[in-house]
Every structure is written in C-alpha cells, then in structure tokens.
C-alpha cells in the first residue's frame, strides 16, 4: 500500500480484476499485500473471494473434468459479469 492510495470502490474493481492472479499466486508481493489489506476491510470482496475459491475448489475436485484454462477463463468472466 502506498500513501495516498485509498481502498474504495476502485479498489474493489482492482480486486475483482486481480482475484484470479491472486489465487494463482502470480501477483507481485506488493499487489498481494494490497489485495489482502483490502480484503481485511471489505466484506463484499471477502465474500467474492470465498465464492470464487469455493467454485474453483468444486471444479478442481471433479475427477473426470479437468479444469482447463478455457473453462477457468470462462468461469472468471462469468464472475466478473456478475458484479
């Protein structure tokens, strides 16, 4: 978090945009820290993260249906459109 940054509505959009990268652990340490700081203070984004995680966990637990990149991308697009 840099001084002057405020985590308001724009930050929520950033979190939604970065959530898949966050879950995939491909973000920089700074981005990860910023998202976690936001999640600490934002119930909406926390609920969103839980929902995404639960869905990914569900898909990942399906034995015959491997979670392809495309399935994943489609799923993430659907999540984003919900907001």
The Cα–Cα gap between 15 and 45 comes to 7
Work out whether 12 is an interface residue with Zn ion (CB under 5 A): yes
The least CB distance from residue 66 to Zn ion, in Å, is 31
Query: Shortest Cβ distance from residue 69 to Zn ion (Å)?
Result: 26
For 65, list phi and psi in degrees, rounded to 5: -100, 90
CA distance linking residue 31 with residue 74, whole number of Å: 24
Closer to Zn ion by Cβ: residue 18 or 75: 18
Q: How many of the chain's residues bind Zn ion (CB under 5 A)?
A: 3
Mark the segment that binds Zn ion (CB under 5 A) among 12-20, 27-35, 49-57, 68-76.
Answer: 12-20
Structure tokens at 3: 């001084």
* Residue whose token pair is 């959530």: 19
Segment holding 72, helix H or strand E = helix 69-82
Figure out which of the listed residues 34, 45, 49, 76 binds Zn ion, where binding follows CB under 5 A: 45
Residues that bind Zn ion (CB under 5 A): 12, 42, 45
């Amino acid at each position: 978090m840099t001084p002057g940054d405020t985590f308001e509505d724009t930050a929520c959009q950033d979190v939604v945009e970065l959530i898949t990268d966050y879950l995939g652990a491909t973000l920089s340490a700074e981005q990860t820290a910023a998202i976690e700081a936001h999640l600490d203070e934002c119930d909406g984004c926390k609920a969103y993260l839980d929902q995404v995680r639960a869905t990914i966990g569900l898909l990942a637990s399906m034995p015959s249906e491997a979670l392809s990149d495309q399935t994943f991308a489609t799923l993430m697009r659907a999540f984003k459109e919900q907001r």
